[in-house]
Amino acid sequence: MTFTANPSTLFSNPTYTSANAVAQTTAQFKRLSVDDQLAALWFIYKQLGRSITPAAPGAARLQLAEGLLEQIKQMPPASQLQVMRDLVLGTNTPLTRAYGVFSANTKLGFWYQLAELMKEGTVIPVPDNYKLSADAAQVICAIERLEFNQQITMLRNAVVDMGVDPLA
């Protein structure tokens, strides 16, 4: 996957400050297409994976997510991709409802584990030749500019509303 962005054009809005960087980056992420959101998550986890490791899985109850991850691993690649798209879109399915009951930290850990499965080839990864949109490339650059705690908060904000909350 390749992308280019001009960092000097990122957040040219004069009201952009460190205090609202997470909120603005999260909003930009959520405006991306489904596939760009998935590609951005994949790239972020590939780039930041080592530093996310203690923050995501360590704070999450990943045993709750293991059943869902196992179901996804058993699917053919096209179905795996559809589940990921359904999660982003909030499509009401048994799997998206299962995800919907996870805590914010478990959701963050779920995506980390999913990225690990993608990296090892158990789950379909983003194709190497996938071309990110300019907006997605800007979001990734913005995330890279955030401080570590802000990156984790932004990622948590990005994945917390995915899936379907069966109690809502």
Sequence-distant (≥ 6) Cβ neighbours of residue 152 within 8 angstroms = 52, 55, 56, 108
The CATH class that applies to domain 34-160 reads mainly alpha
117 and 73 in contact (C-beta within 8 Å)? yes
Q: How many CB atoms lie within 10 A of CB 7?
A: 11
Q: From 111, 29, 12, select the one nearest 68 (Cα to Cα).
A: 111
For tokens 């499509």, what's the residue? 91
Residue type for 3, please? F
Write out pLDDT tens, residues 27-66. 999 999 999 999 999 888 877 765 555 444 555 567 879 9
Q: Report the predicted TM-score, pTM, of the whole model to 2 decimal places.
A: 0.83
Domain ranges across the chain: 34-160
Write out pLDDT tens, residues 74-133. 999 999 999 999 999 999 999 999 999 999 989 988 998 999 899 999 999 988 888 889
